[in-house]
Every structure is written in structure tokens, then in C-alpha cells.
Amino acid sequence: KKGSYDHYMQKEIHEQPHSLTTTMRGRLKDGGVLLGGLKEHLKTIRRCRRVVFIGCGTSYNAALAARPFVEELTGIPVTMEVASDLLDRQGPIYREDTAVFVSQSGETADTLLALDYALENGALCVGITNTVGSTLSRKTHCGVHINAGCEIGVASTKAYTSQIVAMAMMALAVGSDQISTQTRRDAIISGLTSLPSNVSEVLKLDVEMKELASSLIDSESLLVFGRGYNYATALEGALKVKEVALMHSEGMLAGEMKHGPLALVDENLPIIVIATRDACFSKQQSVIQQLLSRRGRLIVMCSKGDASAVCPSGSCRVIEVPEIADCLQPVINIIPLQLLAYHLTVLRGFDVDQPRNLAKSVTTQ
């Protein structure tokens, strides 16, 4: 039921304080993390040579958002695979690998075919899914149900944030035997606890995002630059705009800017730069300076109170978001972009919940 909302996507965006709460319910215990679906397999995962994340679309982006903290908290190398590309290449998967399959529906054909392939190659196969009883849940050796509640809008929103949180809990559980990272884990757990209230806070940007959307309604294209923890945010924000608002949009690694994308910059092309506080902050400040010196039309997302730090000249449009433990910041930062994509779609007169040519679950290859 949509209740008081006009569209499922809108309802699902605004539901996130609740869906994130249910994702974490009963799983943060005595200052640690308890994932019933993984506890018997933690030793095997700790001993593995590599974690391979596999997914499609938004689920791939969620895994990409998880990559930095999984590497940091477990020390295990992480590689990324788009499911169809792994199959196209018949890429190497070994018995010593932990293959983590991420899928909201648990029924995406490419992801399931990649799962069969990884099972044949003897890897430990772990699922991260929203759907109890799905093929993915049944065929994987173990996994985590994200418990975000049924998602109806074709463009995934609340499942994305819950997938990231489920993988954060997974990383905390796998890394829990490491004494040297205890303080870091405590900080992340406290960040998780405060996440729902911070998400409620960032949702108050709704009106501001609607205004921003109306200023972008006639743009042909939109770039989103991110790096580090928020590279995935750039890809996912651009994917949302592309799939529902039917506007060309690309998420880009800010570190690659001068190796090509800079050629596109002029006073018309809108560019969102994600520059919230983390170890990459000063690098993003210099990216903003380089874009401004080429007269770029900038929209900067920054931590609350940082407007003048990111844009001293005052010539950027600024979106200020609450600050949280750096590795969880992607959960906060995607929300204004979800709202932007939603409003852009409504203002452009397109179908929000059933975007042209797309399906919620792609069950054929």
C-alpha cells in the first residue's frame, strides 16, 4: 500500500529510517554483531584468500559501497564482478574464494547463473538478499536476509541502503577476531545505531531536492563525481537519474577526472561533487577548485557546516548532509540523490514506479 504517498518509490525512500531499523533488529548485541546466517561460516570466511562481490545494477553498486570497509575490517582482498561480465569472461573463481552474491530479489538470472558457476568452482557462496525463500537464498551456502520489507518501485532505494548495512554488519562480524581494529568497530557500531535518526534528518532535504530537480529539468546530462567510500554513491546516484528520470547521467571516479571527463566541463553541464568528510576530503576540495576554474556548474554535497570549506567563492549550489562514521556515509549520501531522481522524474512527467523498458526483476539472460 502506498498510503499517503503518490508513488511506491517515494514511499520506499521515506521508509528508510524504518527499513534500516528492521535490517539491524536483533543483530547488534552486547556491543558486537550477531548474524545468525553467518556465524557457523565466519572461520571459513576469515581463512579465504579473497572475497568476490557479484551482482547487477543497484545491488552491484551496494557491494561497491561495501568494498572499502570489508577490506579495512577484514584485511581480505576484495574484487568486484558484474555478474554478466564474470560469465562472459568465465573469470577465475577458486575453492579458496568467498563469493558474495548481492540481489534484492534473489531471482536475477545473471546473478543466479554466476552463482551456479561459483558453486561448480567450489567457492563458499554467500547471499545478501531481501527475499526469504528466493533461489539465491536457497542455493547459497549461507547468507544474510536484509529484512528491508517488500520493495515495489522498479528503481531500488531502500534495499540499497539495507544491503550496505547488512554488508557492514558482515564485515564487522568477520573482522571481530581482530584486536587492533576494536576501537574502529565500536565507532562503526555506534554509527549504525544512530543511522535511522540521521536518515530521518537527511530526508528533510526533500523540498530542497525538489527545487534542485526543477532547476535541472531541461538538462540533457548530469555528472556525479565521487571517490573512496562514495565512488559507489556517484554510480548509484547516476543510475537512479538514468533509470527513472530518463536523463543521461554518469557516475565517475573523481580521481579519473583529469583523464578524460574534464573535457566535458563547461558552464551548462550540471555536475554533482560528493565532498563529505573523510580521508579524501582535501582531494575533493581540489577537484572542486579545478572544476570551478573551468567554469563548471557545480552542486556540492558536503557535511553540515562545510559549505564555505567546499566552496569558498559561494558559486556552487550546496547540499549539506549529516555526518556519520565515514564508511557509513554512503547510506546518508545516496538519499538526497534518490530524492532528486524521484522529483526529476515526476517533474519531467515520466512513470516513477514503472520506468520505460525496465523490469523489477530480470529473470532472463
Burial of 30 (0-12, 13-18, 19+ CB in 10 A): exposed
| Spatial distance between the Cα atoms of 51 and 68, rounded to a whole number of angstroms | 12
Cα-to-chain-centroid distance, residue 198 = 16
Q: What is the closest distance, in whole angstroms, from the C-beta atom of residue 82 to ligand BG6 in the complex? A: 11
Which residues ranging from 25 to 64 are in contact with ligand UD1 (CB under 6 A)? 36-37
Task: Single out the segment in contact with ligand UD1 by CB under 6 A; choices: 135-143, 170-178, 203-211, 260-268.
Answer: 135-143
Q: Nearer Cβ to ligand UD1, position 137 or 338?
A: 137
Of 245 and 257, which has the nearer Cβ to ligand BG6? 245
Candidates 23, 74, 108, 303; binder of ligand BG6 (CB under 6 A) is 108
Select 174 or 235, whichever has its Cβ closest to ligand UD1: 174
Among 33, 51, 54, 56, binds ligand BG6 (CB under 6 A): 56
Contacts with ligand UD1 by CB under 6 A: the residue count is: 12
Nearest residue to ligand BG6, scored by beta-carbon proximity:
57
Cα–Cα distance, 158 to 161 (Å, whole number): 5
Shortest Å distance, C-beta 148 to ligand BG6: 11
Where along the sequence are the contacts to Na ion (CB under 5 A)? 140
Cβ proximity of 254 and 310 under 8 Å = no
Closest separation between CB of residue 122 and ligand UD1, Å? Answer: 17
Report the nearest approach of ligand BG6 to the CB of residue 59 (Å): 4
Burial degree of 221 (CB within 10 A; 0-12, 13-18, 19+): middle
- Does position 84 bind ligand BG6 by CB under 6 A? no
Beta bridge partners of 7: none
Distance of CA 344 to the CA centre of its chain: 20
What's the CA gap between 226 and 350, in Å, rounded? 27
Q: Using the minimum distance from each CB to ligand BG6, give the nearer residue, 183 or 365.
A: 365
The CA distance from 292 to 284, in Å, is 12
**Which three cell numbers, joined as nine digits, stand for 199?**
536518515
Would you say 13 or 63 has its CB closer to ligand UD1? 63
- Interaction pattern, residues 123-162, with ligand BG6; x per rule: CB under 6 A: -------------------------------xxx------
- Hey, what's the cell of 258? 583529469
Report, in angstroms and rounded to the nearest whole number, the Rg of the chain calculated over CA atoms. Answer: 20
Q: CA angle at residue 111 from 16 to 254, to 5 degrees? A: 60
Length of the chain: 365
Q: Rule CB under 6 A: say whether 336 interacts with ligand UD1.
A: no
Is residue 171 within 8 Å of 149, Cβ to Cβ? Answer: no
What count of other Cβ atoms lies within 10 Å of the Cβ of residue 13? Answer: 25
Contact with ligand UD1 (CB under 6 A) among 19, 140, 156, 303: 140
Q: Give contact residues for ligand BG6 (rule: CB under 6 A).
A: 56-59, 103-105, 108, 111, 154-156, 358, 360-362
Footprint of ligand UD1 on this chain (CB under 6 A)? 36-37, 127, 129, 132, 136-137, 140, 142-145
